[in-house]
Amino acid sequence: MFQQTAPLDVSVTAVLLIVAAAVVLCIPRVIWSYFGVYITLVHELGHAFAALLTGRVLAGIRVHRNQSGTTHSSGRGGFSGVFSGFFGYPAPAMVGAALVWSVFQGYTAAALAVGGVILVLTLVFIRNLFGVLVVLVSAAVSVLLWVYAPPEVQGYALLVLGTALIVGAVRAYLNVVSVHVSRRGELRSSDAYLLYQRSHIPSPIWLLLFAAVIALSIFVAFSAYVSTL
């Protein structure tokens, strides 16, 4: 299952089509209203994994149809709360870059398997019915691709998903920036504002740090693509 295989060989035309497909998933409002929910799930999983890494107790995750979500965890120490609070907006870009890298390193099947297992384990922490549905659908797609799709189809599917996660992360980031710039009545929904309350470090600093991690993820994915051309 985790054996390395021959990396997927893609053409310039294929790359352009992959990027186009990713844009279609993230830009048109109708499609984004569905795919954006998956971005929210990955966002919340970013909080959850960061919380677990710092020894916090994960109480539950909720994902809602309006693309909002919450992750509740508890633990001692201000650092753990700040650390877990940070890895929401960067998470989709980081996962997207990891998926793109995996495909071009020959670990497509492993990425699908690991992703499917993580999604199944996530069910333990989901606390609302819609969130369960989102996780089940996501896990089912991963399992179906892993079991039935040929390696080339798996590779292209993960490239589209990984690239779309990065595009989606950028869109979500621009949205949170707009909250701070022109929709300040919604500040309490912003992770950057919540991090400011926990750390007393100004929100713009956190927004810059979000941008830095997202930019690094874009660079990793871009480098992976370039290495195959």
| 4 domain residue, yes or no | no
The pLDDT assigned to 1 comes to 55
| Whole-number pLDDT of residue 7 | 76
Q: Look at residue 3 and tell me whether its pLDDT is greater than 70.
A: no
**86-121 pLDDT per residue, tens:** 999 999 999 999 999 999 999 998 999 899 999 999
Residue 94 is assigned to a structural domain of this protein: yes
Is a pLDDT exceeding 70 seen at residue 58? yes
> So what's the pLDDT on residue 2?
62
User: What are the tens digits of pLDDT across the range 36-54?
Assistant: 999 999 999 999 999 999 9
Three-state secondary structure call for residue 9 = coil
Q: Give the tens place of pLDDT for each residue, 9-33.
A: 899 999 999 999 999 999 999 999 9
pLDDT exceeds 90 at position 79: no
pLDDT at 94: 98
3 in any annotated domain: no
Please check whether residue 206 lies inside any domain of the structure.
yes
Give tens-digit pLDDT for 127-181. Answer: 999 999 999 999 999 989 988 999 999 999 999 999 999 999 999 999 999 999 9
Q: What percent of the chain has pLDDT over 70?
A: 98
Q: Determine contact, residues 211/192, Cβ cutoff 8 Å.
A: no
Domain assignment present for residue 5? The answer is no
Determine, yes or no, domain membership for 102: yes
Domain range enclosing 183: 12-228
Residue 172 is assigned to a structural domain of this protein: yes
Mean pLDDT of the chain: 93
User: Mean of the pLDDT values across residues 56-66?
Assistant: 95
- Structural domain includes residue 7: no
Report how many domains make up the chain: 1
